Structure 1
Amino acid sequence: MPIDVSNTPDMYEIDATGSFTFNTKVGVRNDPNMDATPIIYYEPGESVNYSQKLKNGNHLWLSYVAASGETHYVPYVNTDTGEYFGTDSNASVQPIVPPTSTGTGTGTETGELGSLTGQAGADVADQTPDGTTLTESGQFTFSEPAAGRASTDMDAEHLDSWSIGETVYYNAKIKADGHYWFQYVNTNGSTYYVPYATISPFRYYGTDSNPGDPVIPQKDTGTTTTGTPRSHTGVDTAMPAMDSNPEREYIGEGDQYIYPTVGSLTLLSNAWGRAKPVMDPNNKANQIRLYEKNTLINYTGKLFNDNHLWVVLRNGQYLPVSTYANAEGNNMQDDDDPKNSSSYGYVTGDTGKVQPIEEYWPYTLVMKHGMTDVASWETADETITNIDATQEVIPSNEEIQAMNQFAAEIDATATDDSVSIAYITDTHVDSYKSLASARVLRSMQLMSYFANHYGVDLIVHGGDLNDGVKPKDLSEADIKRAMDTFKLSHRPFIVLQGNHDDNSGYARDETHYNGNQVITNNEAKPLRLDQFSQWLNVPTGSANPNNAIFGSYDVPNSDVTVLVLDGFDMPDYTDPTREQFRHGHTDYSDAQQNWLTETLAGIPSNRKIVVFDHIGLAGIGADSSYESHWENDIDVDTRYENTHAKSYQDGIKHSRAMYDKLTNYQSSHHNILGFFAGHTHRDNYKLSGSIQFVTSLCGIADRGDGRESRPLGSLTENGWGVIQLNPSKNQVIRHRFGPIGEDNQIAPYTDPNYFLKQWTIPDN
C-alpha cells in the first residue's frame, strides 16, 4: 500500500536513532537520490545504525556518518509501493508530515509544514521534532544582533555575525535547540546556521520576507469538557541538557580510593601507622609510628590495598586493620554489639561496621537483598559495564515487539479522555553494587524510549532513585545518570524523594552517623528538584523550608491533577543522631500538611486526582489506630509509618494527619482515583477511606517481588509500567511491561494476588 507523503516536502529531515536490518540488497549513496550511483551495498541480514531519517523523491532514507566522517544515505522504504527493505528498530518514528486536515480550519488542526507563524506556531512547536527542516528561500532583516554557527546548537562557536539592519539570504528553516534557524551559504562557501527566533518565550529577531516557521501544525485534541477526544500519548518537550558521565570512578583494589567514613576501633594487637597503604616490611621508612594493643583509634577513611583493609588516621597515616582474607567474610559484626560495631582481623568495636570490601563488584558475590542463588538471576558476565545515560537505548527486536504489544494493550482500553502515566519506583541505581543495580539504568532508558516513541503524558519515578549506600560523590554521580535517563523521554517527568535518595543509608550505617555524607536539602535541589520543577508546581521559601518534593501537576488538556507528596520532608542536621536520618523513618512538615489542605480545597470537584508518595500512610486499613493493614500484611509492624519506636511517633502522627486529610476530602468529593506508593518492593493494595491505595514492586531486578524470575537481559528484568486513567469512568487500569503471563494480562513475575490490575471509584 502506498505511503501518503503528499504533505511532506523533499529533504524533510528528522533526528531519529535506531538500527535497520535489511532483507534485500540495498545501495548506499552520497546523496539521498536514487539516481546517484551506489558506493557500497548492504546485503540481506546486514544492519546499519542510523542517526537521522528523511524523505526525498519516492523513498524514505536513513542517514549515518561513516568512519571516513562523510554522511551516507540508504533508502529503506519505497513510498509509492509501501515496500520496506527490512526491519526498523525505531519504526514508530517516520519523516512524514501528516496529511492536511479536512476540518473547518482553526489554525490548530494538522496542516502543512510552514503554515504557522509567530505565537501560534510556538504554542505547538514542542510537538515538532528537532531537526525538522522547511526547504524554502527568502531574506531576513535583523532587528537585533545575531551570530552564525556551523550547527544548529546555541552552544556552538560563533563563526559569522549580523548587526541590526543587516540581511541574511537563506535556503531553509530548521527547528532545533529551542530556536528556529536559517540555513545559508556563507561567503566562504560553507553552510552555516543562524537563529532567527526563540520559541519560548517566543520572539522573532527581525522581519522575514517569506513568513512561515518549521513547525508541524497539530490537531486540536480538546478536553473532556469539550467532548473532543484527547491523545494519551503526550507531547514532545524536547530534551534538556545532560549532566552525567558514563565513566565511573574506579574504587577497587590498588587505586587507593578512600571511603570517607568517620569512626573508631580498638586494636587487638600492635600495628604500625604507615606513610603509604603498603605493608613492605623491608621499608622501615614507611613505618612512622607503632600503635600498641588496646589503643583506641579514630579514623576518617578506609580503603583496600596490598591485600589489606586500611583505616586513614586523622594525622594522615595509614593503619592496617585486617587482611583481605579476613575482611572477605560476611560475619564480621561484634556478637556483643551486633547493631553498631564489628570485630575482625586485628581490631574490635569498629563503629563503621560495613567495610569497603563489601561495596564493590566483583568481590561481593553474595547479595544482601534476599538473593542467595546469584546465578538464578545474573548473567554469566560478572563485570559491571558503564552505561551512557545520555544516549537513547537501541532496543532489541524482542523489546520492540514487546513494546508494540504493550502499546496496543494500552490503546485497547483507552477512552476519549485517557491519561497515561509511565511509572517506576525503587530503582536503587548504584553503578558499583551489583549487576542489577547498574543495569537498572538501561531499564529506565527503555521506559523513556517507550515514552518518547509510543507516547505517555507523564513519567513518575516513585522514589529511591539511587541506593544511597556509597560515598556522597559516587551517589551524586549516580543521581545524575538516573536523571538523564528520564530526559531521554522527551516527556514531562517527576522524581519523588525516597529514604535512600539523600545517601543517609551510607552516612548512618556505614560511616557512624557522619552528617557530611548526607546529600543535604540544598545540595539535592539542583540534582533532582530543579530538573523537573518546570512541570511540578512546588512551593518555595517558607512554604517549603526543606526544599521537599511535594507539589501539583495538571496534566495538559485533561481533567486530571497529579499530587506528589514527600514522606521524608525533614530538615538537615550537622551532627545527626540515629533518629534524625531519613533512612529510618517518615515525616511530613507542617508546611506540607498546610499545602495539602489548601491544595485540595482549590481543586475543582470535576477534576480527578491521583496521589503519588514514596511511602504509604499511617492508618491505611485501620479503624482507629495508626497501624496500617494491607491485603498482604507481611512486615507491617516494621514499616516506617507503623513503627512503635518512641522517637519516631511525631512522624507517624504527621503521616496519619496526611491520611485523614485525603480520606476526609474523598468522603465528600469522591474524585481521588488512587494513591500510588513504593518503598516495600512488593505489589500490594488496600481500599481504605474510599481511596484505593497500592504499592508496586521495585524497578531493580535483584530485590523484592519476583526477583527469582527476573534474570538480567530478559524482558522480566524490567519493573515499570503505565498507569492508565480514564477520568469519565472514574477508572484506573495498570499495565505492566514485560512478557504476557498465563492470564494474558499480567507479566509472569507479578503475583496476581497482590497486583491490583484495575478499579473504579464510585461517585458517592
Structure 2
Amino acid sequence: MKIKFLTKKFFRPRLSEFISVQTDNFLRKLKPRPFFTKYIEQVFRKNVEPNVSQNCLTLSVLTDTHEKAVASSSYYGLNGVRHIIEANKACDSLPVDYNIHLGDLIDGSDKPEISRGLLQFTMENYQNSQRPFYVLEGNHDENDKYDEHKFITSASFRRDDYYNLVTKHDFEQPEIKRLSLGSKVAWIDKGDIRVIFLNTSDIPYILNGGTKKYDFKKVRGIREQQIEDLISILEKTIDKHVVVFGHANLISQSGRSALNFNGDLVQKIFTSFNNKDSGQLKNELSGDFGVNVRYNFTDTGISTISNYICGHMHYEKHYKVNGINHIILNCSALMGKKHGVTTDYNKKWDRRYNEISELAGYFININPDKMLLQIFGYGAATRFVSFEI
C-alpha cells in the first residue's frame, strides 16, 4: 500500500522545510514495536553482555535501511525507519557505547522533499536517543535514484542537503572527532581502541547544465583530501587497536579496488600503517580523483588496523587481504524473497514483515583484553563471528 502525501505548505516547526504535514503526522505516529524492542534487548543480554567489560567498545550497528515513503510489508519502505527507532530504543537501556549507521539511510527514490523529510526525521531519532551516534553517507543518500528514474534535468538534492540534514549533527557531538570543518574522516576513541569512519561516497558535487557530473548512486570513491586526513590521523595513532568503518567495500577478495576510485589506495595505506612504512602514494589519475601524497607511519608504536567493516552489498561476507579482515554486513532493510533485486543471501532468510527476519542488525564488541572483535547478529544476520584485533 502506497501512502499519498499532501503538498500544502502547512508544517510543524521541526520538519517544516522538508516534509508535508500529512507525512509529518504519519512519521510521528511510528512507535517502537514492543516485541522487537524486547527481542533486541534479549539478544544483547544473553549473547553480548557477558562479553562486555570496562575496556570494551560496544556498538549497535545498522546499515542500508533504505527508507521509503511506502508502507511495504515485503520490501523497502517505512520498516527501515521502524528498525532504527526500535534498535535505538532498545539501546537506551543497554550498556552500548554508540549507535552506528553505515549508510543508505534512505533508498533515494522518493521526491526530494520526502527524502529530505525522512532523513531529518530519522536524525531526530538518533539525536533523541540516549547514546552518541555516527551516521555514514551511503551511495543512495543523495537521492540520485529518483533523478535516474524520473529522468529529470536538475539535481533533486542541493549541494549541502545531506550535510545539513545528517553529517552536521554527527559532528555536533563532542565524542566525534575530525581534523577540520571540511574533513570527511571521523574517529572515536575509547582507551586503547580507535574507530575511524571513512566516506566511500566522497564524490564531488558538480553540475553540468543542472544535472550532476557524477551519479552518487553509481559512483563510489575516496578523494585525495580524505586520504590525506586519514594519513594524518593514523600518523598520530600511537599504540591503538584500530578498526575502520565505511559504507561500501574497499577492495575485492582478490585485492582489486571495489570502489570506482581509490579503494585499493586506502588498502595500501592500511598495510603500510601495519608495516610501519613511510613513502609516497599516488595513482595515474588527475583531476577529481587524482592522488599524490606522502606518509610516515614509523612512530605509531604497536598500533594495527585489523578490520574494515561495511555494508552496501546486502549480504554477509568476510575475507582477509594482506592481514586485514574485510567484513560485509547484511542490509537492515526488509528484502522479501519474491523481489527481483533481493540477494540470494536474503532469499535464504525468507524475510517477512512482523517476524524476527524482518530485522537485520548487529552488536559489535571490540575487546582489547581478549584481542577480539566479536559480531553478534540478530534477525536476518549471523548470530556470532569473531576476528582478531
TM-score w.r.t. structure 2 length?
Answer: 0.78
Counterpart residue number, 1:504: 144
Q: Is the 8 A contact 1:685 1:756 kept in 2?
A: no
Counterpart residue number, 1:361: none
Looking at structure 2, the residues matched to 511 and 599 of structure 1 have their Cα atoms a distance apart, in angstroms, of 41
Residues 441 and 577 (structure 1), Cα distance of their counterparts in 2 relative to 1, 3 Å cut: closer
Q: How does 1:547-696 map to 2 (within 5 A)?
A: 549-555=184-190, 558-575=191-208, 580-605=214-239, 607-618=240-251, 620-622=252-254, 626=256, 641=259, 651-652=260-261, 654-668=262-276, 669=302, 671-696=304-329
Residues 525 and 399 (structure 1), Cα distance of their counterparts in 2 relative to 1, 3 Å cut: closer
Report whether the alignment pairs 1:441 with 2:75: no
Report whether the alignment pairs 1:406 with 2:44: yes
Q: Is the 8 A contact 1:392 1:449 kept in 2?
A: no
Q: Is the 8 A contact 1:472 1:519 kept in 2?
A: no
Residues 248 and 428 (structure 1), Cα distance of their counterparts in 2 relative to 1, 3 Å cut: farther
Looking at structure 2, the residues matched to 466 and 460 of structure 1 have their Cα atoms a distance apart, in angstroms, of 15
Counterpart residue number, 2:360: 719
Looking at structure 2, the residues matched to 588 and 524 of structure 1 have their Cα atoms a distance apart, in angstroms, of 17
Letter of the 1:468 counterpart: G
Displacement after TM superposition at 1:594 (Å): 0.5
Residues 491 and 243 (structure 1), Cα distance of their counterparts in 2 relative to 1, 3 Å cut: farther
Q: How does 1:103-502 map to 2 (within 5 A)?
A: 243-244=14-15, 386-388=26-28, 393=32, 395-396=34-35, 399-400=37-38, 403-432=41-70, 434-435=72-73, 436-502=76-142
Looking at structure 1, the residues matched to 241 and 327 of structure 2 have their Cα atoms a distance apart, in angstroms, of 17
Q: Tell me, what secondary structure is at the counterpart of 1:429?
A: coil
Displacement after TM superposition at 1:688 (Å): 1.1
Residues 595 and 584 (structure 1), Cα distance of their counterparts in 2 relative to 1, 3 Å cut: same
Q: Is the 8 A contact 1:387 1:442 kept in 2?
A: no
Q: Tell me, what secondary structure is at the counterpart of 1:554?
A: strand
Displacement after TM superposition at 1:553 (Å): 1.6
Counterpart residue number, 1:122: none
Q: Is the 8 A contact 1:673 1:731 kept in 2?
A: no
Displacement after TM superposition at 1:578 (Å): 7.2
Q: Which consecutive unaligned segments of at least 5 residues does structure 1 have?
A: 1-241, 252-384, 628-639, 642-650, 739-748
Q: Is the 8 A contact 2:154 2:211 kept in 1?
A: no
Residues 394 and 554 (structure 1), Cα distance of their counterparts in 2 relative to 1, 3 Å cut: same
Q: Is the 8 A contact 1:406 1:737 kept in 2?
A: no
Q: Is the 8 A contact 1:721 1:736 kept in 2?
A: yes
Displacement after TM superposition at 1:494 (Å): 0.5
Looking at structure 2, the residues matched to 388 and 247 of structure 1 have their Cα atoms a distance apart, in angstroms, of 12
Looking at structure 2, the residues matched to 433 and 573 of structure 1 have their Cα atoms a distance apart, in angstroms, of 34
Looking at structure 1, the residues matched to 179 and 70 of structure 2 have their Cα atoms a distance apart, in angstroms, of 35
Displacement after TM superposition at 1:438 (Å): 0.7
Displacement after TM superposition at 1:656 (Å): 1.3
Residues 402 and 676 (structure 1), Cα distance of their counterparts in 2 relative to 1, 3 Å cut: closer
Q: Is the 8 A contact 2:66 2:106 kept in 1?
A: yes
Residues 402 and 528 (structure 1), Cα distance of their counterparts in 2 relative to 1, 3 Å cut: closer
Looking at structure 2, the residues matched to 243 and 667 of structure 1 have their Cα atoms a distance apart, in angstroms, of 49
Report whether the alignment pairs 1:759 with 2:384: no
Looking at structure 1, the residues matched to 72 and 193 of structure 2 have their Cα atoms a distance apart, in angstroms, of 39
Residues 441 and 244 (structure 1), Cα distance of their counterparts in 2 relative to 1, 3 Å cut: farther
Q: Which has the higher contact order (CA 8 A, sep 6+)?
A: 2
Letter of the 2:331 counterpart: C
Looking at structure 1, the residues matched to 158 and 108 of structure 2 have their Cα atoms a distance apart, in angstroms, of 9
Looking at structure 2, the residues matched to 402 and 588 of structure 1 have their Cα atoms a distance apart, in angstroms, of 34
Task: Report Cα offsets for 1:135-194 as digits up to 9, x if no partner.
Answer: xxxxxxxxxxxxxxxxxxxxxxxxxxxxxxxxxxxxxxxxxxxxxxxxxxxxxxxxxxxx
Letter of the 2:247 counterpart: H
Displacement after TM superposition at 1:399 (Å): 4.3
Q: Which has the higher strand share?
A: 1
Q: Is the 8 A contact 2:185 2:230 kept in 1?
A: no
Q: Which consecutive unaligned segments of at least 5 residues does structure 2 have?
A: 1-12, 277-301, 336-341
Residues 665 and 446 (structure 1), Cα distance of their counterparts in 2 relative to 1, 3 Å cut: same
Letter of the 2:198 counterpart: L
Letter of the 1:686 counterpart: Y
Displacement after TM superposition at 1:572 (Å): 1.1
TM-score w.r.t. structure 1 length?
Answer: 0.41
Displacement after TM superposition at 1:716 (Å): 2.1
Q: Is the 8 A contact 2:377 2:384 kept in 1?
A: no
Letter of the 2:226 counterpart: Q
Displacement after TM superposition at 1:727 (Å): 1.4
Counterpart residue number, 2:157: 518
Q: Tell me, what secondary structure is at the counterpart of 2:308?
A: strand
Residues 603 and 405 (structure 1), Cα distance of their counterparts in 2 relative to 1, 3 Å cut: same
Task: Report Cα offsets for 1:231-274 as digits up to 9, x if no partner.
Answer: xxxxxxxxxxx9458986679xxxxxxxxxxxxxxxxxxxxxxx
Q: Tell me, what secondary structure is at the counterpart of 1:567?
A: coil
Counterpart residue number, 1:317: none
Counterpart residue number, 1:339: none
Looking at structure 2, the residues matched to 737 and 244 of structure 1 have their Cα atoms a distance apart, in angstroms, of 32
Q: Is the 8 A contact 2:67 2:77 kept in 1?
A: yes
For the pair shown, which has the larger CA radius of gyration, 1 or 2?
Answer: 1
Looking at structure 2, the residues matched to 565 and 721 of structure 1 have their Cα atoms a distance apart, in angstroms, of 19
Letter of the 2:360 counterpart: G
Displacement after TM superposition at 1:415 (Å): 3.8
Displacement after TM superposition at 1:428 (Å): 0.6
Residues 404 and 594 (structure 1), Cα distance of their counterparts in 2 relative to 1, 3 Å cut: same
Residues 408 and 670 (structure 1), Cα distance of their counterparts in 2 relative to 1, 3 Å cut: same
Looking at structure 2, the residues matched to 727 and 248 of structure 1 have their Cα atoms a distance apart, in angstroms, of 48
Q: Is the 8 A contact 1:503 1:519 kept in 2?
A: no
Looking at structure 2, the residues matched to 657 and 734 of structure 1 have their Cα atoms a distance apart, in angstroms, of 27
Q: Which has the higher helix share?
A: 2
Displacement after TM superposition at 1:569 (Å): 0.9
Counterpart residue number, 2:284: none
